[in-house]
Amino acid sequence: MFYMPPYQSKPKGGLKMKVMLDAGHYGKHNKGVVSGYYESVQMWKLHKFLKSALEGYGIKVDITRKTLEEDMHVELRGRAAQGYDLFLSLHSNSYDSSNPDPEADAPYMCVLQDLSWTSIDDISKGLGHKLGETIQNTIGTKQKYKIYQRKADKDRDNNGIMDDEFYGVLKGCRIVGVPGLILEHSFHSNERACKWLLNDNNLKTLAEAEARTIAEYFGIIKLPEKVSKKFKVTALALTIRKGAGANNGVAGYLVKGQIVDVCEISDGWGRLADGRGWIGLSATEEVKEAKPIAIPFVQKKVKVTASVLNIRKGVGISYSKTGVLRKDEVVAIVEEKDNWGKLSDGRGWIGLAYTEVFKQETKPAEQPPVQKKVKVTASALNVRKGAGSSHEVVGWLKKGDIVTIIDEKDGWGRLIDGRGWIGLKYTKEVK
């Protein structure tokens, strides 16, 4: 993966982007209005989720502290980003004298001061707008995000210019020349926002959205995930696209119930294994491969000789009845004990004194059905559930498709892959 940040000719330390993440506060600090919420704990979780999500884009990610309980001076947290391309400190806000509204519900993006001697402030503000919008939309805040800058009330670096950062983490990352932001994920003094941030699944969704925004801002494309999965179409009709996205050209269609193989997944789109294109996976459901059922070893089959034979829970007539068998019924026995036999279907045990061994006649093996390949001559050919146009459409083939037929009936052919039947008058045999 190649990465070229817009603010320098080469990334620091090589071609892989490097991000330093910081979870605001340590231990159990800053209670929310909902029981169990601590800003320090939830932001620690969020920054771990964000680390994993960013690494999915091939980005190298480190964190300022090893454990939640570890404390660290705020300026040193910012300085820890030296040699990195970006510094992010994650927080949730609370109303106070500067934010006196207890119903406040908006993301605040604390960015670097406007600086004339570097472009790291441009990155900080530009990314701040993108992340602010992402957080606002993901959490569903009642108010629009805000870009926030706060200068120190004194000349911290003694250069005679009152342009120093108020927040220690931003002061630290600015000193080492790295663009940084403090992300305030709405207000934990707001009950709605606090409840939302208490949900771990919500935090995962938020982390994925933030990672996607960061990657897009820096021009990083996530490599598609190589898979081998089956998906079933749940929409009435599903468009096949030439690429992963609705803005790509149409390459074909699928219909409800159709099952397809997917070999790559990228941003919610799946590439069809047959090469026809990409489909939106939101209109499908994954088909899980059925696990093989363990079939018990059948020792023998027996035929009931009594007019009625009780099935019992255990070995012996002292056990309660669970059912009955009728004369001439044939059942499989998987275990024997004291002249009792255990049924293979799990219903219970029967007395073998009232049965005889069943010897099945051996039939000659059936010959496999004759197969032939045909090529579709119509522009589009429906695949139906049965042999006839009255049957439900379960898919379609396009002109030039070559398929294998294993059975024929009244001018219809059954597909070898099990999808259904097609009218053979719209095909020609391929030798």
Question: What is the per-residue DSSP string for 252-320?
Answer: EEEETT-EEEEEEEETTEEEETTSS-EEEGGGEEEEPPPPPPPPPP--EEEEE-SSEEEEESSSSTTSP
**Mean pLDDT value of segment 303-327:** 93
Same domain, 110 and 67: yes
Q: Is residue 12 domain-resident?
A: no
Same domain, 109 and 163: yes
| Domain finish residue from 287, 310, 328 | 287
Report the SS3 class of residue 143: coil
Q: Is residue 207 domain-resident?
A: yes
333 sits in which H/E element:
strand 330-337
Same domain, 44 and 156: yes
* pLDDT per position as a tens digit, 413-424: 998 888 899 999
The chain-wide mean pLDDT, for the chain, equals 87
Q: Encoding tokens for residue 174?
A: 């600015």
Cβ–Cβ < 8 Å for 109, 128: yes
Same domain, 63 and 157: yes
* pLDDT per position as a tens digit, 354-377: 999 988 665 555 555 668 899 999
Cα-based distances in Å from 75 to 71, 79, 89, 175: 12, 6, 12, 9
Given a cut of 70, is residue 116 above it in pLDDT?
yes
Cβ–Cβ < 8 Å for 339, 351: yes
Quick one: pLDDT at residue 286? 93
How much of the chain exceeds pLDDT 90, in percent?
64
Cβ–Cβ < 8 Å for 111, 181: yes
* pLDDT per position as a tens digit, 221-274: 776 667 789 999 999 999 999 888 888 889 999 999 999 999 888 888 999 988
Domain enclosing residue 410, as ranges: 372-430
* pLDDT per position as a tens digit, 28-55: 999 999 999 999 999 999 999 999 999 9
Given a cut of 90, is residue 283 above it in pLDDT?
yes
Cβ–Cβ < 8 Å for 26, 71: yes
Q: Is residue 367 domain-resident?
A: no
Q: How far is CA 385 from the centre of its chain?
A: 32
Same domain, 144 and 65: yes
Question: HSE on the CB side for 120, CA within 13 Å?
Answer: 19
Cβ–Cβ < 8 Å for 105, 143: yes
Same domain, 107 and 153: yes
Same domain, 211 and 254: no
Q: Is residue 11 domain-resident?
A: no
* Sign, Cα dihedral of 133, 137, 138, 139: positive
Same domain, 232 and 201: no
What's the domain count of the chain? 4
Beta strand extents in 59-189 (DSSP E only): 60-63, 86-93, 108-111, 146-148, 180-187
Q: Which residues contact 282 (CB under 8 A, 6 or more apart)?
A: 268
Report the SS3 class of residue 202: helix
* pLDDT per position as a tens digit, 78-100: 999 999 999 999 999 998 755 55
Q: Is residue 9 domain-resident?
A: no
Question: How much helix, strand and coil, in percent to the nearest 5, is found in the chain?
Answer: 20, 35, 45
* pLDDT per position as a tens digit, 173-218: 999 999 999 999 999 999 999 999 999 999 999 999 999 999 989 9
Report the SS3 class of residue 222: coil
Q: Is residue 177 domain-resident?
A: yes
Same domain, 207 and 236: no
Cβ–Cβ < 8 Å for 23, 46: yes
The CA distance from 44 to 38, in Å, is 10
Given a cut of 50, is residue 381 above it in pLDDT?
yes
Quick one: pLDDT at residue 240? 94
The CA distance from 168 to 343, in Å, is 75
Given a cut of 50, is residue 6 above it in pLDDT?
no
Same domain, 68 and 212: yes
Looking up residue 317, the CATH number of its domain turns out to be 2.30.30.40
Looking up residue 107, the CATH number of its domain turns out to be 3.40.630.40
Q: Encoding tokens for residue 62?
A: 């480190």
The CA distance from 272 to 240, in Å, is 9
